[in-house]
Amino acid sequence: MEYLNLKIKRFVFFLLVSCGGAFSAQAQIDSLKCNLVHTGTFAYRNDSLQSILIVRKKNRQEEHNKATNTLTKYRVKWLSGCSYRLKQTWSNSRQQRKQNGSTSVVVINRADKDGYQFTCRCENETDRAKYSGIVYRIE
C-alpha cells in the first residue's frame, strides 16, 4: 500500500510540474503579444461614447478627445509586459487639469496586432472605479 501511495504522489507531482510549465509558457506568449501595443496610435470610446485618440511613444502617452477638443498628457511606466501605470501630467482642459498627478493602472487582458482589451483601475481621490474596454490600433 505504501508503495502505491508513493507512486500516486510522484504522479501528482509530475502533473503539477507539467501544468506549471504550460501556464508559464502561456504567460510568456501573452507578454510577447502585449509588446505589440507598447507604442503606436490607437482609439477607444469613453463612457460618453466619444472617440479618444491615443498616441503612445516610449514612456509618454497623449489622449485627444476631438469632440471636446481636450488634449491630456500622461507619463507611462510599464509594470510588466502586460500592465502599466498612467500618471496624468498635463491637460488643456480646466476640468481635466484637476486630475493632474492622478494615476491609473491598466492591465492588458488580451492583445494582438489590431489592439487590446484592458481593465483599468483609477487610483485618484475622486474616482476609484474599475473600467474595461477595447482599444483599436489605428497605425
| Residue 38 · residue 59 · CB < 8 Å | no
| Residue 90 · residue 101 · CB < 8 Å | no
**pLDDT reading at 104 higher than 60:** yes
**pLDDT reading at 125 higher than 80:** no
Strand, helix or coil for residue 20: helix
pLDDT tens digits for 52-97?
999 999 999 999 999 999 999 999 999 999 999 999 999 999 999 9
| Cβ within 8 Å of residue 70, ≥6 positions away | 64, 91, 92, 93, 96
Question: How sure is the predictor about 44, in pLDDT bands with cuts at 50, 70 and 90?
Answer: very high
**pTM for the full model?**
0.75
Domain 33-137: CATH class, spelled out: mainly beta
Q: Where along the chain do its domains lie?
A: 33-137
Q: What radius of gyration do the chain's Cα atoms show?
A: 21
